[in-house]
Amino acid sequence: MSTTLGDVRSRAVAMGKVADILQARGEMEEALRIRREEELPVYERLGDVRSLLVGRANLALLYLQRGRPEDRNLAAELLRLALTSAEALRLPEAVQIRDIQRHFGL
């Protein structure tokens, strides 16, 4: 049985929603794992720049919420990458990403 690109992307979107639920429940480690291993790699492979930048911003927020010492640098880098893509595509998400960076002093 073959899997279409749409199926692959739909699964990644669904996994992102699962990560949102886990994050809301405080299950940060599993939410982080899903975003890093099951969601973002799909967007990278598909070349879905917008979904990738949104996913990176969501992952950054997860790291900031978890709050380990190394998380701040990881979040800053993810937000920088997301902002670069958003600005290159002239997407409105750039404003939100800048606001997150300012809010967290990144």
35 in Cβ contact with 63 (< 8 Å): no
78: Cα separation from own chain's centroid: 8
| Reported pTM | 0.88
Percent of the chain scoring above 70 in pLDDT: 96
| pLDDT at residue 1 is higher than 60 | no
Cα first-last separation, the chain:
46
Backbone angles phi, psi at 27, to 5 degrees: -90, 70
What mean pLDDT value characterizes the chain?
A: 92
Q: How far apart are CA 48 and CA 43, in angstroms?
A: 5
* pLDDT tens digits, one per residue of 49-84: 999 999 999 999 999 999 999 999 999 999 999 999
